[in-house]
């Protein structure tokens, strides 16, 4: 019965994606960031839901472009050029990388990674075009808040119901699909969901006018902290500290923000658990701790790869294959997003990643002009802008310890950032037009 319901939902969503492509964009990111096929695997089975929705969305976007429904000039900016260059460097590394053809691993092949990358970047540009109004951006923003809330619920249920099969040596893994695979099977990757999603919940709560609604929403924050503790992720713990410090720095109510981080410290002592506390001891004192030393070994190998292949890198998806040839170690991933980019796709790709990240932060600062005057929807845009800024800072901290090259969350935040700027400019033009003013380009 549930499977028939899924077919019905897929049909409706696909039709809506053709008529209103922005719904298809939302559906794509829901599937990419939540991965419901791993949660309810007995319903999804081998149905290629993501491919069906993606195809319908692309058709809808093509129809929209033919009918001039989208403003193409929204794509013309420095950060989008950098994203395009990043894709170009990745493509070059896939074609000319010296270790691509000799790939040997049980993980994703270079071809599979290239296909994932193409889809991520394609939907980034489609998202920049489709999410062009505040009503669409609102749904797009709240989508990740919903995903985070669900995973906070899911993570805590595993703990309180003693579902120990979901734990790997005391560390909570994300939902695992029918074939044993999952984008959140790695505990550190699962922690990333909460680090990037908690700022969404925090700022939604902070900007509530009604006190009951405010404290009800904020009451989910400690459960989010607990979810991070359950994963036993040191990178997640640092990311949690990062987003908390950003919230304090940006908050007008310093007392409340400082109180929040004091509660976080107290909650860590009471509910952190032995696993995360023991692992956190090695954040600075890494010697003798296997996981930390493995990362340092991989990074040292990465430096030698850059020196040997600065232009093409060793090849897309080939870090695991190449690293034993540069340093005495077994095959392993880089455990660092920047190092993964620069070693596999060359210095150009690494520079693009850094410049895109810097551009994001600068754009968040630039978007703040919408607060200075009473532009249309200025309060809502401020909420979204502050949330994604904190989320992105947390993501960058986590990316120092994880290879996030094949995860859509980076581009998801970029779309929101880009859409805020476009909507703010439209609101400024509209406001000035209503006031009889003139906007100088």
Separation of first and last alpha carbons in the chain: 57
Q: What is the pLDDT of residue 438?
A: 40
Q: What is the pLDDT of residue 62?
A: 96
158 and 280 belong to one structural domain: yes
318 and 383 belong to one structural domain: yes
Range of the domain at 42: 1-69
- Closest to 302 in 3D by CA, of 327, 280, 283: 327
Does residue 259 lie within any of the structural domains?
yes
Q: What is the pLDDT of residue 73?
A: 83
> pTM of the entire structure?
0.90
221 and 269 belong to one structural domain: yes
Does residue 208 lie within any of the structural domains?
yes
190 and 118 belong to one structural domain: no
170 and 294 belong to one structural domain: no
Does residue 441 lie within any of the structural domains?
no
Q: How many CB atoms lie within 10 A of CB 46?
A: 8
Cβ–Cβ < 8 Å for 232, 171: yes
Does residue 206 lie within any of the structural domains?
yes
Rounded CA separation 217/208 (Å): 9
Q: At what angle do helices 221-231 and 234-250 cross, to 10 degrees?
A: 150
Q: What is the pLDDT of residue 86?
A: 97
Q: How many CB atoms lie within 10 A of CB 394?
A: 26
> Which residues are 168's β-sheet partners?
171
57 and 196 belong to one structural domain: no
At 284-328, the pLDDT tens digits run: 444 444 566 777 888 888 899 999 999 999 999 999 888 888 887
216 and 328 belong to one structural domain: no
Angle at 110 between CA 107 and CA 112, to 5 degrees: 75
**Cβ within 8 Å of residue 71, ≥6 positions away:** 129, 132, 422
300 and 422 belong to one structural domain: yes
Domain endpoint, select from 285, 314, 329: 285
Q: What is the pLDDT of residue 441?
A: 31
Rounded CA separation 349/87 (Å): 8
60 and 77 belong to one structural domain: no
- 436 alpha-carbon distance from chain centroid: 41
Q: What is the pLDDT of residue 371?
A: 58
Cβ–Cβ < 8 Å for 126, 25: yes
Does residue 440 lie within any of the structural domains?
no
Cβ–Cβ < 8 Å for 227, 198: no
115 and 251 belong to one structural domain: no
Q: What is the pLDDT of residue 259?
A: 73
Domain endpoint, select from 222, 253, 285: 285
Low-confidence ranges of the chain (pLDDT < 50): 283-289, 435, 437-441
Domain count, the chain: 3
410 and 317 belong to one structural domain: yes
Q: What is the pLDDT of residue 207?
A: 87
Domain endpoint, select from 285, 314, 344: 285
> Which residues are 171's β-sheet partners?
168
207 and 262 belong to one structural domain: yes
Q: How many CB atoms lie within 10 A of CB 302?
A: 25
Q: What is the pLDDT of residue 164?
A: 87
Rounded CA separation 219/149 (Å): 11
Does residue 401 lie within any of the structural domains?
yes
Which 3-state string (H, E, C) describes the chain?
A: CHHHHHHHHHHHHHHHHHHCHHHHHHHHHHHHHHCHHHHCHHHHCCCCHHHHHHHHHHHHHHHHHHCCCCCHHHHCCHHHHHHHHHHHHHHHHHHHCCCCCCCCCCCCCHHHHHHHHHHHHHHHHHHHHHCCCHHHHHHHHHHHHHHHHHHHHHHHHHHHCCCHHHEECCEECCCCCCCCCCCCCCHHHHHHHHHHHHHHHHHHHHCCCCHHHHHHHHCCHHHHHHHHHHHCCHHHHHHHHHHHHHHHHHCCCHHHHHHHHHHHHHHHHHHCHHHHHHHHCCCCCCCCCHHHHHHHHHHHHHHHHHHHCCCCCCCCCCHHHHHHHCCCCCCCCCCCHHHHHHHHHCHHHHHHHHHHHHHHHHHHHHCCHHHHCCCCCHHHHHHHHHHHHHHHHHHHHHHCCCCCCCCCHHHHHHHHHHHHHHHHHHHHHHHHHHCCCCCCC
């Amino acid at each position: 019965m549930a499977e028939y319901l899924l077919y019905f939902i897929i049909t409706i969503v696909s039709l809506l994606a053709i008529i209103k492509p922005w719904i298809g964009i939302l559906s794509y990111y829901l599937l990419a960031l939540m991965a419901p096929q791993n949660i309810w695997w007995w319903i999804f089975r081998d149905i290629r839901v993501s491919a069906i929705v993606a195809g319908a969305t692309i058709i809808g976007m093509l129809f929209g472009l033919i009918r001039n429904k989208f403003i193409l000039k929204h794509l013309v900016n420095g950060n989008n050029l950098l994203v395009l260059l990043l894709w170009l460097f990745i493509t070059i590394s896939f074609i000319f990388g010296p270790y691509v053809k000799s790939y040997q691993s049980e993980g994703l092949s270079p071809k599979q990674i290239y296909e994932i990358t193409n889809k991520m970047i394609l939907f980034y540009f489609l998202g920049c075009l489709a999410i062009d109004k505040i009503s669409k951006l609102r749904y797009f923003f709240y989508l990740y808040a919903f995903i985070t809330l669900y995973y906070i619920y899911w993570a805590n249920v595993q703990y309180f119901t003693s579902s120990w099969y979901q734990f790997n040596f005391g560390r909570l893994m994300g939902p695992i699909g029918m074939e044993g695979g999952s984008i959140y099977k790695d505990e550190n990757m699962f922690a990333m969901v909460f680090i990037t999603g908690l700022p969404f919940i925090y700022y939604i709560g902070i900007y509530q006018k009604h006190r009951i609604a405010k404290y009800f929403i904020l009451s989910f924050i400690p459960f989010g902290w607990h979810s991070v503790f359950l994963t036993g992720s040191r990178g997640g713990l640092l990311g949690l500290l990062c987003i908390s410090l950003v919230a304090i720095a940006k908050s007008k109510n310093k007392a409340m923000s400082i109180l929040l981080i004091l509660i976080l410290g107290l909650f860590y002592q009471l509910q952190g658990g032995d696993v995360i506390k023991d692992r956190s001891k090695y954040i600075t004192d890494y010697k003798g701790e296997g996981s930390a030393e493995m990362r340092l070994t991989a990074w040292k190998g990465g430096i030698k790869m850059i020196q040997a292949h600065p232009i093409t890198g060793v090849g897309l998806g080939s870090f695991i294959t190449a690293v034993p040839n540069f340093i005495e170690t077994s095959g392993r991933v880089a455990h660092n997003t920047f190092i993964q980019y620069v070693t596999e796709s060359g210095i150009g790709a690494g520079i693009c990643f850094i410049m895109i990240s810097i551009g994001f932060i600068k754009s968040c600062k630039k978007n703040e002009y919408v607060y200075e005057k009473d532009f249309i929807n200025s309060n809502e845009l401020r909420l979204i802008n502050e949330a994604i800024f904190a989320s992105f800072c947390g993501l960058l901290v986590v990316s120092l310890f994880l290879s996030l090259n094949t995860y859509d969350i980076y581009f998801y935040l970029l779309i929101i950032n880009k859409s805020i700027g476009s909507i703010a400019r439209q609101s400024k033009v509209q406001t000035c037009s209503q006031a009889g003013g003139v906007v100088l380009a």
